[in-house]
């Protein structure tokens, strides 16, 4: 293995055999041009693969000038990679034999497995077991194949090979792979490697993500995802990859978590998108919201440096598109650079008198290639300019080719990103291809071009600060484990009793207002006397979800006499409004002073595990859905940034002369809740509603808590 990738193979599960095989066998090679087994062998040969190629087919003699072996057993030595295209019902035997002779890597292109139903799933599981038992790892089944443009090797049935480049592509859809290759060829966009993940029966997206993270030929990882096999593993892989290079993904399809019935506010607000959005902030990663953004953003990141700051200089030969780009600038989180001093003097020297010297710099419709070049050179040299965007509209006197030449001459190797928007089609097409092939991205519409530049800057912001470690508090985790254990033994989904909820908070150092359960008025009176008036009385019943709606809550009870009447009223109210509800008793709670109300909670994503939520409390949480989510484990920065993410943040930081709330106390509660959720996988949902927050220095307190286990 000397001289091959320096990646340490003891950790990586995607061995070099997949991307850099010295020999390979096409098992199921065919002499019929309409068959996939023909296309794959042809692609391997036509791609210029330099390693040894075997073809396996029991019937054929010679296919595409390669002598066929009748079966795997007759190969002279085990190939590094087996590409399997035999019918589904022959795959198990083929893979078993491959593993038997010492093949360590296989790409199963054949379809007819999990995607066809329960029988197919069984077959798929058997294939994976056979491979693993024999020390072999598999890509697929039901995939397009694998491509490494650098080797080169096209071990797929894609019609064509993408150009060589530095975007590594992972896709859970084979059809998307073929479309991406098609686009790449048309637009001059280059890929390093392309992996069609198929059913991901053995090796999954995270495995190849790890491999691309280590791949020196790959500068950007672009993924098309429909789901992930293990969210926590994926989070870790993205985090690791993102330290080395930008990770961009497009996510299609809704996961099941969105559809699942939720027993809490947090659960009902945690849609399938929350986890992916949280992943982007925390890993970090860049999410593309359309397929074209996936391509354009990946290309820009692969070919251009990321901007060091938000200041963009905008060069144009027409006012309208300049306005469009300027509009998009602020929306993209960027700003137009201020043109002054030496740069301004320089521009004055060569620009026509009617040109706009201020950003956007309008060279006018008469601008020739030289003028574009001078402007670009001057602006790139300005230390206050972080990026340059060049708009060209094909007008009567425009030198499209010459301008492209100038841009290529000046921008190639510049330390600042240059993004072009040559508008139109017919008359700029050839030059756009030339620009993109040479590593200058072009986005046909100026607003989109600005958006891409903004996403590049987002990467800059993401990597600017190192990610801190998750914080651990000294807590009594064991007490909570044994408490939860008692519930879970009884089976199914369970709600903790209000008192047990308090015990959990207590064990994790989360402040709460005292609460006691009473089964009758006498008990309620005793508890109230102990904790001191005023108190709050609430009905306890599994059937009553919204207590206020049925008269099940009485606030601010100031003495024993009031308590007695409140108790009687409450019981009769609930009996009248919900005759079917079984009343389990009442809770007596110390009335706490008013403050700003938040809702805080935990939901569990079936793929990503626990998510922590925070939002503005009261009925507003339902109306405005002003909530933020983070995956567990959370860092202190996550806690701070999720509060900042709320539109209601200004209600916490203080508006209209109000003093700021105790934000530090809320952040600590968030981190303690994150630790609680992380340490107890059986905690399925949790709502703290409200968390009352006092002025800075005065802390916060949980008033009502619901915890659901199992699920």
Instruction: Note whether 579 binds its own copies by CB under 8 A.
Output: no
Instruction: Please choose, out of 167-175, 208-216, 275-283, 702-710, the segment that lies near its own copies by the rule CB under 8 A.
Output: 167-175
Measured CA angle at 365 (ends 364, 369), to 5 deg: 90
On the CB side of 342, CA atoms within 13 Å amount to 9
**Whole-number minimum distance, CB 433 to its own copies, in Å?**
11
Residue 57 or 393 with smaller CB distance to its own copies: 393
Pairing of strands 683-693, 705-709: antiparallel
Interface with its own copies, residue 525, by CB under 8 A = no
* Beta carbon nearer to its own copies, 153 or 616: 616
CA distances from 4 to 15, 22, 216, 414 (A): 11, 10, 11, 31
Q: Of the candidates 393, 459, 453, which has an alpha carbon nearest to the alpha carbon of residue 426?
A: 393
Q: How far is the CB of 178 from its own copies (least distance, A)?
A: 6
Binding mask 416-445 for its own copies (x = CB under 8 A): -------xxxxxxx--------------xx
CA distance 251 to 233: 17
List the interface residues with its own copies, window 85-114 (CB under 8 A). Answer: none
Minimum separation from the CB atom of position 79 to its own copies (A) = 24
Q: Are 677 and 683 in contact (CB under 8 A)?
A: yes
**Pairwise CA distance, residues 262 & 510, whole Å:** 24
Query: Which listed range, 165-173, 260-268, 370-378, 587-595, lies at the site for its own copies (CB under 8 A)?
Result: 165-173
Instruction: Name the residue among 680, 654, 622, 353 with its Cα closest to residue 487.
Output: 680
- Distance (Å, whole) CA 615 – CA 574: 30
CB-wise, 277 or 626, nearer to its own copies? 626
- For its own copies, the closer of residues 5 and 116 by Cβ is 116
Residue 610 CA from chain centroid, whole number: 15
Question: Binding string to its own copies for residues 181 to 200, with x set by CB under 8 A, is what?
Answer: xxx-xxx-------------
Which is nearer to its own copies, 465 or 546 (by Cβ)? Answer: 546
**Residue 635: CB minimum distance to its own copies, A:** 27
Judged by beta carbon, residue 1 or residue 252, the one nearer its own copies is: 252
Classify residue 584 by burial, with Cβ atoms within 10 Å: 0-12, 13-18, 19+: middle
Q: Is 602 helix (H, G, I), strand (E, B) or coil?
A: strand
Residue 360 preceded by cis peptide, ω within 30: yes
Dist CA 95 CA 105 (whole Å) = 10
Q: How do the residues of the chain divide into helix, strand and coil, expressed in percent and rounded to 5? A: 40, 20, 40
Residue 607 binds its own copies, judged by CB under 8 A: no
- Of 1 and 425, nearer to its own copies (C-beta) is 425
Residues numbered 309 to 328 that lie near its own copies (CB under 8 A) are 317-321, 323-324, 326-327
* HSE of 690, CA atoms in CB hemisphere, 13 A: 18
254 contacts its own copies (rule: CB under 8 A): yes
Beta strand pairing call for 387-392 and 418-422: parallel
Among 486, 647, 660, 697, binds its own copies (CB under 8 A): 647
CB of 322 to its own copies, least distance (A): 9
Question: Rule CB under 8 A: is residue 12 a binding residue for its own copies?
Answer: no
CA distance 451 to 500: 50
Does 258 sit near its own copies (CB under 8 A)?
no
Q: Is 236 in the site for its own copies (CB under 8 A)?
A: no
Kindly state the smallest distance separating residue 183's Cβ from its own copies, in Å. Answer: 5
Binding of its own copies by 157 (CB under 8 A): yes
Segment near its own copies (CB under 8 A); pick from 169-177, 306-314, 333-341, 633-641: 169-177
Strand-strand pairing, 683-693 and 596-605:
antiparallel
Told to check if 349 binds its own copies by CB under 8 A, we report no
Rounded Cα gap, residues 201 and 114, in angstroms: 9
Q: How far is the CB of 553 from its own copies (least distance, A)?
A: 12
Residues in 540-559 that interact with its own copies by CB under 8 A: 546, 548-549
Identify the helix (H) or strand (E) that includes residue 289.
Answer: none
Interface pick for its own copies out of 29, 39, 262, 510 (rule CB under 8 A): 39
Q: Which is nearer to its own copies, 72 or 616 (CB)?
A: 616
- Only one of the segments 338-346, 603-611, 622-630, 632-640 lies at the binding site for its own copies (rule: CB under 8 A); that segment is 622-630
The SS3 of residue 570 is: helix
User: Which parts of 447-506 interact with its own copies (CB under 8 A)?
Assistant: 447-448
CB neighbours of residue 709 within 10 Å: 21
Helix H or strand E segment including 325: helix 319-331
Residues 354-413 interacting with its own copies (rule: CB under 8 A): 354, 365, 393-397
**Residues that contact its own copies, how many (by CB under 8 A):** 73
Interface with its own copies, residue 598, by CB under 8 A: no
Is omega for the bond preceding 152 within 30 degrees of 0, making it cis?
Answer: yes
């Amino acid at each position: 293995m000397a001289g091959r990738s320096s990646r340490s193979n003891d950790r990586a599960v995607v061995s070099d055999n997949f991307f850099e095989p010295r020999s390979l066998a096409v098992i199921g090679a065919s002499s019929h041009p309409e068959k996939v087994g023909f296309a794959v062998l042809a692609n391997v040969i036509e791609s210029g693969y330099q390693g040894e190629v075997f073809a396996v087919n029991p019937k054929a003699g010679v296919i595409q000038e390669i002598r066929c072996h009748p079966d795997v057993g007759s190969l002279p030595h085990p190939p590094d990679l087996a590409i399997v295209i035999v019918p589904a019902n022959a795959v198990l035997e083929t893979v078993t034999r491959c593993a038997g002779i010492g093949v360590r890597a296989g790409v199963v292109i054949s379809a007819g497995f999990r995607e066809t139903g329960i029988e197919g799933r069984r077959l798929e599981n058997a294939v994976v077991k056979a491979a693993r038992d024999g020390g072999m790892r598999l890509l697929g089944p039901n995939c397009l194949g694998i491509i490494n443009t650098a080797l080169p090797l096209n071990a797929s049935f894609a019609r064509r090979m993408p150009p060589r480049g530095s975007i590594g592509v992972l896709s859970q859809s084979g059809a998307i792979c073929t479309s991406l290759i098609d686009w790449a060829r048309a637009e001059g966009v280059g890929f390093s490697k392309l992996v069609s993940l198929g059913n991901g029966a053995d090796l999954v997206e995270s495995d190849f993500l790890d491999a691309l993270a280590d791949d020196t030929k790959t500068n950007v990882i672009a993924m098309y995802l429909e789901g992930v096999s293990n969210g926590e593993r994926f989070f870790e892989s993205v985090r690791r990859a993102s330290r080395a290079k930008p990770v961009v993904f497009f996510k299609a399809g809704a996961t099941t978590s969105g559809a699942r019935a939720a027993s809490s506010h947090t659960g009902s607000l945690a849609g399938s998108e929350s986890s992916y959005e949280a992943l982007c902030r925390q890993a970090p990663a860049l999410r593309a919201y359309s397929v074209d953004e996936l391509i354009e953003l990946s290309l820009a990141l692969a070919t251009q440096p990321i901007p060091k700051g938000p200041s963009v200089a905008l060069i144009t030969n027409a006012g309208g598109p300049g306005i469009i780009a300027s509009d998009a600038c602020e929306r993209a989180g960027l700003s137009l650079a201020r043109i002054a001093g030496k740069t301004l003097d320089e521009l004055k020297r060569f620009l026509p008198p009617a040109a706009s010297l201020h950003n956007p710099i309008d060279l006018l419709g008469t601008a020739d290639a030289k003028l574009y070049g001078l402007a670009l050179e001057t602006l790139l040299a300005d230390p206050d300019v972080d990026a340059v965007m060049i708009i060209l509209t094909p007008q009567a006197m425009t030198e499209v080719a010459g301008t492209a030449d100038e841009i290529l001459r000046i921008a190639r190797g510049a330390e600042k990103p240059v993004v072009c928007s040559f508008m139109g089609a017919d008359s700029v097409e050839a030059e756009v291809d030339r620009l993109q092939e040479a590593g200058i991205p072009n986005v046909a519409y100026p607003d989109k071009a600005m958006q891409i530049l903004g996403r590049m800057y987002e990467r800059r912001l993401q990597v600017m600060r190192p990610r801190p470690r998750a914080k651990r508090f000294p807590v009594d985790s064991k007490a909570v484990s044994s408490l939860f254990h008692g519930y879970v033994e009884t089976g199914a989904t369970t709600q903790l009793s209000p008192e047990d909820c308090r015990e959990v908070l207590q064990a994790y150092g989360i402040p709460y207002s005292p609460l006691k359960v009473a089964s009758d008025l006498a008990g309620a009176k005793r508890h109230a006397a102990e904790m001191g008036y005023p108190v709050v009385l609430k009905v306890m019943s599994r059937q009553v979800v919204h207590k206020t709606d049925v008269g099940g809550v009485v606030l601010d009870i100031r003495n024993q006499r009031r308590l007695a009447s409140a108790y009687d009223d409450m019981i009769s109210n609930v009996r009248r409004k919900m005759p079917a509800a079984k009343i389990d008793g009442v809770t007596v709670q110390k009335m706490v002073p008013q403050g700003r109300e938040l809702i805080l909670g935990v939901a569990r994503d079936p793929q990503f595990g626990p998510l922590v939520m925070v939002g503005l409390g009261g009925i507003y949480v339902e109306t405005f859905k002003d909530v933020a989510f983070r995956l567990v484990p959370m860092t202190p920065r996550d806690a701070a940034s999720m509060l900042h993410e709320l539109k209601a943040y200004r209600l916490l930081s203080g508006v209209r002369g109000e003093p700021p709330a105790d934000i530090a106390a809320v952040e600590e509660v968030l981190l303690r809740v994150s630790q609680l959720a992380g340490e107890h996988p059986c905690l399925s949902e949790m709502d703290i509603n409200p968390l009352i927050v006092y002025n800075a220095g005065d802390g916060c307190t949980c008033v009502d808590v619901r915890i659901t286990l199992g699920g």
